[in-house]
Amino acid sequence: MIVFLLAGVAAGTASALYLAYNYQPILLNGTIHAAIFASGLVAMLFAKRLTTKAAGWYLAGALPVHLAIHFVVVRDLAQLTGTSHILLNFLSFP
């Protein structure tokens, strides 16, 4: 199961970094970004190794790394979830 965890970490990192360095146009790059993220699951499906447990391990590796890169490198997660940057700046005032 460690293999699925490591595959998830790799896919999460690759997809978030792809979006960090290829940000425009968002619709095309967003689609490619999502495809990279899901590529491990698709590969497991074709290899007939996709189970609930394997998918869980994959996502347990992919999601934390993926979201951490969005917060730290891309800095767009608040915008993608609809949170205003003005509101975020306002809340950070003393």
**Which H helix or E strand runs over 50?**
none
Extents of the domains making up the chain = 2-91
Q: What is the pLDDT of residues 11-31, one digit of tens each?
A: 888 887 777 777 666 667 777
Angle of the 2-21 helix axis to the 26-46 helix axis, nearest 10: 160
Comparing 6-15, 40-49, 55-64, 69-78, the range with the smallest average pLDDT is 69-78
In the chain the first and final C-alpha atoms are separated, in Å, by 46
Task: Give the Å distances, CA to CA, from 41 to 52, 60, 83, 85.
Answer: 11, 12, 30, 33
User: In whole angstroms, what is the distance from residue 13 CA to residue 72 CA?
Assistant: 12
